[in-house]
Amino acid sequence: MSGAIQFAMTHSEPGGLREIWNDVSAGLAMRGHAVSRFVLYPGGEAEQRDAAEGEGWHHLLPERATGVAALPRLLAALVRHLRRTRPAAVVTAMPFANVLMPLAVRLAGTSTRVFVSHHSPADTHNPVLDRLDGWTGQLPCVAAVICVSDAVAASFDGKPAAYRAKRRTIHNALPDRIERLIDGLVETAPTKVPGRIVAMGRLSAQKNYPQLIAAMAHVPRGHFEIVGAGEDEAALRALALRYGVSERVRFLGQMTREQALAHAASAEVFAQVSHYEGHSLALIEAARLGLPLVVSQVPVQVEGITDAGGARCGIAVPIGDARGLGIVLARLLADPQERAAWSLRARALGLAASNRAMVDAYERLLAR
């Protein structure tokens, strides 16, 4: 593979996507490839931008660009960047960057190959961007459409045939250092806190925390702890108060990845009943920790708890069924043998998600 590889996103707000691109680009750099990362514009607060720049992310524009009026300026900045750096390949994420990059490559007149990637199902995207993606994804400069799960890939079945033919599934995995950290936590056999149910993720509508909070009314000996921060915190606190479970629901706020994993290791159950995911890093982390997994019964999540042989390694519950979710959680907390059985399955599933295999897959695809 010759020339530089660039990883790009729409904005630099923290989250799983930024972590994945950090992991993949670092893995390729360790194998001798020239790699860099950039975003179209900053996201969120100034400290978030500073954190992203500390990880090596370059911002094309110094401030957030929104609205149609900002599009020409953003497109011009991107074209200038491509002409100046002339990358061999750009791997994009987030719908706006996925649409804009192929257009910019054509305008720049470079031989750059574009690899767009999807980390959530098509129906979660802006309808206008989704329609444009179906067109720009067919352009000759787009070499492949990467999907992080087969379920995400299937959500694009309605795209034109030329687009569908470019789909490739590459599952997410954890970076080597996190794999080693988790394995060390497992080996020390941390003391489990009785009744602790843990979730890790942003306090947003996607994560469907209201169902988990409502379920706690049916889990009398359990307490639910959320590692993460976000815009829905006040509403979720009010909901816990309304259901009479506020003393058993704790909002732990943002933690470092290492702190979050150390805390999760002491839980008895991991719960993630999101409305949608792509291939959740938190789910992979919980599986590698050997936590019994309880997830939402949606295609992406079911795939996330299914091993290569087709066996379920976790329990899926329907979206919206708070009582059913509560019954499952209460049963797991009450039955050590059932927890142990699901723990073994989860651990095997987590070990199968290999960082080396993920980086191998990206390297093979980019080299084609």
Is 168:144 a contact under the CB 8 Å cutoff? yes
| Residue 320 and residue 310 in contact, taking contact as beta carbons nearer than 8 Å | no
Would you say how long the chain is, in residues?
368
pLDDT at 220 exceeding the cut of 50: yes
Angle between helices 95-108 and 127-136 (to 10 degrees): 40
Q: How far is CA 238 from the centre of its chain?
A: 27
pLDDT in tens, 26-65: 999 999 999 999 999 987 666 667 777 788 899 999 888 7
pLDDT of 63-120, one tens digit each? 887 777 788 999 999 999 999 999 999 999 999 999 999 999 999 999 999 999 999 9
8-state DSSP, 221:
T
Structural domains in the chain, CATH included, are 5-173+355-367 (3.40.50.2000), 176-352 (3.40.50.2000)
Band of pLDDT at residue 193, cut at 50, 70 and 90: very high
- pLDDT for the residue 45: 67
Give the residue among 257, 202, 246, 255 at the shortest CA–CA distance from 224.
246
Buried b (16+ CB within 10 A) or exposed e, 275-289: bbbbbbbbbbbbbbb
- The answer to whether 265 touches 186, Cβ cutoff 8 Å, is yes
| pLDDT digit string, tens, across residues 138-173 | 999 999 999 999 999 999 999 999 999 999 999 999
Burial level of 192, CB count in 10 A (0-12/13-18/19+)? middle
